[in-house]
Structure formats: C-alpha cells, structure tokens
Amino acid sequence: MSDIQQAAQHLAAGELVAMPTETVYGLAADASNPAAVAKIFAAKGRPADHPLIVHIGDVAQLERWARDIPPAAYALAAKYWPGPLTLILKRQPGVPDAVTGGQDTVGIRIPNHPMALSLLAEFAKLGSGAVAAPSANKFGRISPTKAAHVKSDLGKDVAIILDGGECAVGIESTIVDLSRGAPVVLRPGAITEEEIAATVAGTDHTPQAPVAAAAAPRVSGALAAHYAPRTPLQLIASDALLKQVDACVFKGQTIAVLAFSVSPLRHPAVLWFAAAHSAAHYAHDLYANLRLLDAAGVDLILVEQPPQSPEWRAVTDRLGRAAVGSGADADGEAS
C-alpha cells in the first residue's frame, strides 16, 4: 500500500495526517468528523473557536460545504484553484461547528500539490473526501514548509507525515471573504488583492459597506502576534540597518541579520543571511529562514524591511506579525 493510501485510511479512521500543500504543510483530519477535528485543536494547542479551512479535491464538492455561492466565488475558483486561495462562504447547515468555530461561514480551498490532491482523491473513495487542515505548527509559532519542520513540532501527534518536499509558495493562502457581499481580503497571500479585484470585477456581486471590525469573523492569522520566533525580532528600514547593527555590536549583543545586501562586515557577533530579491522567492524561503534565524541562538534578529509594493504585502504582513509575537518563551503566546 502506498503512503498516500495509508494516509487516506488514517483519515477515514479519524486520525491526523500531515500533508504537504503548495503554501505550507497542513495538519489534516476528516472535515465531516467532529471527533477527528477535535484532535487538531488538541495537537496544535489552538483555541476551539478558531475556524479551520476545509480542503477539497474537486470544485464539484463546493456545494456540499457552502451555500448561496456568489458568481465571484466561481470566477475565483475557476481562475485560481487548485491554488493558494481560500474562499469564505456561507456554510451548509451540516458542516461541523468544530470546523467553523460555530460561525455561519466556512473557509474552503483546493490545494495545488500533487500529494495533497492524490490524498483527497483517495480519501474520497473511503470517506468525505474533505479535510480540515490548519498549518501543521503549534499555535502561534512558525508555519512548516518542510516535512522536517512538522516532525519537530508535531511528529508525535500525527499518524503519518507525507513528505512532499519544500512548499513552493511558502506562505499561507490568501483568504477572501465572499460571505457578506463585496469581497474582503482577510489575509494577504501570494495572490494579491489587485488580482482578486480584477477577477471579480466582471462578476455579479452585491457591493456592501466594508465589514466593521467588531463584526469581522475570527481569524487566527489576523492576531497581531503570529508566526513568531522565540528570539526577539525587529524589522528595520534599509537606511537604518547598518547603524542598528553597529549599535547592537557596541552593546555587546549577538545578532542575526536577514538583509537584501551582502554583509559589509565580518564580526563574530553578527550572523548575516542574504535574503532573496524577488517577493516569490523571499516568501518561499521565509519560514525556513525564520527557523534558522531563531535557531542561531542570538540575542536579537534584525530583518531588513522589504519594499512597499503590492507583491511584497503578504511577506511584510507575516514579518510584522513575527516581530510582534517574537520573544515569547512558551507555546501559544499568540494573542
């Protein structure tokens, strides 16, 4: 029996499976089985009211999970699925509360990774064919982009880890809320707000006033402190970087630097990592880099601020959250 068939059997038996996707590794359980979904929350240490994304293998399954699906959703699905895009839609009444956090909406995507798609196809033969899957990391910590990351965080909690190599995209999917009329981007990702707007422009959605913050759904990726290394991390403008490095060295601090330029100095207290210059490449490396920077055992991580343009927005968002959440010495210090 192949690893994928075995993993599908574990899902059907209500066990947890770590699966690769093109964004980050997911911690998957049968989305139709509340007891299986409960194991995700226990393994991650995630609050039970934080909703999960349902991963399906085929757009034909969409209507089993969502209702009142607007044309904009089909337009986005046709253009970007399988791919790094999650749609928030009104839920079907049968969707377990454990998946939606009790909300009246559900997040859905088709991941673009051959192993994930094979797993979903195999699981469709044995069970619901849909898995609820958050990123396969402890709550509030850095998302995994390699099988080894999953193993070190959650290895003892899963029945099997499918190793699909490095995640091609490297940061989580763009989340678009289509449940309240005009689309609202809840989490930036590789697919930009501009691309979303261009795709839905020709479709028939009902424009509404922007969602008030208080009415906005709970999104754990929207917590200020998320994706966080344990070492304090500071984002620093390009023109202030070298001065800050000097100041740290002068204070006797050891530092790790992630910067676009090559190191201008050799100093035993300074570890210098060269960052990729394209946003896509930077995103691909981001979480592995944050883990390396964190493992360096330095007093402080300095990250050079990326450019302001739209393609860098998702990376800048994750770095900002990493900075806010950094320095916590225990799991689950995410809020």
Which of ligand TXA, Mg ion, none is residue 133 near (CB under 5 to 8 Å by kind)? ligand TXA
DSSP string computed for 150-182: HHHHHGGG-SEE----S-SS-SPPEEEE-TTSS
Q: Does 24 bind ligand TXA (CB under 6 A)?
A: yes
**Structure tokens, 274:** 């060269």
Hey, which residues between 194 and 253 contact ligand TXA (CB under 6 A)? 217-221
Helix, strand, coil % in the chain, rounded to nearest 5: 40, 15, 45
Which of ligand TXA, Mg ion, none is residue 26 near (CB under 5 to 8 Å by kind)? ligand TXA
Q: Which of 252, 239, 215 is nearest to 304 (CA)?
A: 239
> What would the x/- binding string for ligand TXA be over residues 96 to 135, using CB under 6 A?
----x--x-xxx---x---------------------xxx
Report the residue from 21, 135, 173, 289 that binds Mg ion according to the rule CB under 5 A: 135
H helices present in 135-275, as ranges: 147-154, 193-200, 241-250
Cβ closest to ligand TXA, residue 21 vs residue 118 = 21
Distance CA 317, CA 177 (A): 18
Q: Which of 2, 31, 11, 3 is nearest to 126 (CA)?
A: 11
Cβ closest to ligand TXA, residue 215 vs residue 262 = 215
Q: How far is the CB of 78 from Mg ion (least distance, A)?
A: 26
* Beta strand 255-259 pairing with 300-304: parallel
Report the residue from 20, 26, 70, 127 that binds ligand TXA according to the rule CB under 6 A: 26
Q: Does 50 bind ligand TXA (CB under 6 A)?
A: yes
**Structure tokens, 8:** 């599908």
* # of chain residues touching Mg ion (CB under 5 A): 1
Which of ligand TXA, Mg ion, none is residue 230 near (CB under 5 to 8 Å by kind)? none
Nearest residue to Mg ion, by Cβ distance, number only? 135
Phi/psi of residue 89, nearest 5 degrees: -130, 165
Contacts with ligand TXA, residue ranges (CB under 6 A): 21, 23-24, 26, 50-53, 84, 86, 88, 100, 103, 105-107, 111, 133-135, 172-173, 175, 186, 217-221
Contacts with Mg ion, residue ranges (CB under 5 A): 135
